[in-house]
């Protein structure tokens, strides 16, 4: 295993997590103010991210957006997050990744991987998406897939990304729901050959969260049982060529040879 967070103890481990703060809309017209840890707690082996309807730095809502940048990032591997999601209209929880170093330019050319998104206005439909220079929601060209669950609010589900050099696979409770294939064109289609880090948050409103149910049940929570990242070891120990090719079969067709 490359990295894991089981959320033991009674507070968020700041040696592993960093809180992003502010209420500037975050490029999506979001309504919440992200606080410096006031909306995140740990209890009974769970991380609890809580979105509250309250005045917070001039906003009507407060919430948490946290990441493990500068703590751990990863290139390829299997990322699992087991979680329960909020339900009130306007909530928009997400489990996603961005590169620490935006070597291919600004968003979306830098590349974004959304492992899990959900909205209270479309309850129980959970989906994953990629954003690149060629494929992104600003142009309506984003690519993704998802699954309708019976209950994502009271039941834990495991949201998994398997990241390979040639593709990205999304699994929800071990059922594959989407594959994005490396087209081997340019970084506008596949910027996913540099390390990313993980983000967890609940946004309120905005372009995807939609209409906010001010009279709904508040506060709302995303409960995370664990985060586990498995290193698949690509590139390790692969620098020694075999001395003699083996297991080759050749079929001759005129001047062509098929191996």
Active site residues: 112, 117
Question: Which residues fall within 8 angstroms of residue 28, CB to CB, at 6 or more apart?
Answer: 203, 206, 207, 208, 209
Q: Are 93 and 222 a contacting pair, CB within 8 Å?
A: yes
Q: What are phi and psi of 205, to 5 degrees?
A: 70, -145
Pull the structure tokens for residue 78: 């299997």
The owner of tokens 């959900």 is: 118
Question: Taking the C-alpha atoms of 74, 80, 85 and 90 in order, what is their torsion angle to the nearest 10 degrees?
Answer: 30
Question: Which residues fall within 8 angstroms of residue 205, CB to CB, at 6 or more apart?
Answer: 29, 30, 31, 32, 90, 92, 211, 212
Question: Which residues fall within 8 angstroms of residue 26, CB to CB, at 6 or more apart?
Answer: 65, 203, 206
- Give whole-number Cα distances, 46 to 7, 42, 223, in Å: 6, 6, 6
Return d(Cα 117, Cα 122) in angstroms, integer: 11
Report how far Cα 237 is from the mean position of its chain's Cα atoms. Answer: 29
């Amino acid at each position: 295993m490359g990295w894991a967070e089981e959320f033991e103890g009674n507070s968020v481990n700041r040696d592993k997590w960093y809180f992003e703060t502010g209420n500037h809309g975050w490029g999506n017209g979001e309504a919440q103010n992200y606080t410096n840890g006031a909306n995140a707690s740990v209890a009974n082996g769970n991380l609890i991210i809580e979105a509250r309807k309250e005045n917070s730095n001039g906003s009507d809502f407060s919430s948490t957006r946290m990441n493990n940048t500068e703590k751990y990032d990863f290139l390829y591997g299997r990322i699992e997050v087991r979680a329960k999601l909020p339900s009130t209209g306007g909530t928009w929880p997400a489990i996603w990744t961005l590169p620490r170093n935006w070597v291919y330019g600004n968003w979306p050319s830098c590349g974004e991987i959304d492992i899990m998104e959900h909205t209270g206005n479309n309850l129980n439909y959970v989906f994953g998406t990629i954003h690149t220079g060629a494929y992104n929601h600003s142009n309506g060209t984003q690519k993704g897939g998802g699954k309708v669950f019976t209950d994502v609010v009271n039941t834990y589900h495991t949201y998994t990304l398997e990241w390979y050099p040639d593709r990205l696979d999304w699994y929800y409770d071990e059922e594959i729901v989407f594959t994005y294939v490396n087209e081997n064109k340019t970084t506008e289609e596949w910027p996913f050959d540099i390390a990313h880090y993980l983000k967890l948050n609940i946004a309120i409103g905005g372009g995807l969260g939609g209409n906010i149910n001010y009279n709904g049940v508040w506060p709302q929570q995303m409960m995370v049982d664990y985060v586990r990242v498995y290193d698949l070891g690509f590139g390790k120990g692969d620098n020694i060529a075999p001395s003699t090719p083996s297991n080759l079969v050749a079929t001759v067709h005129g001047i062509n040879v098929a191996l």
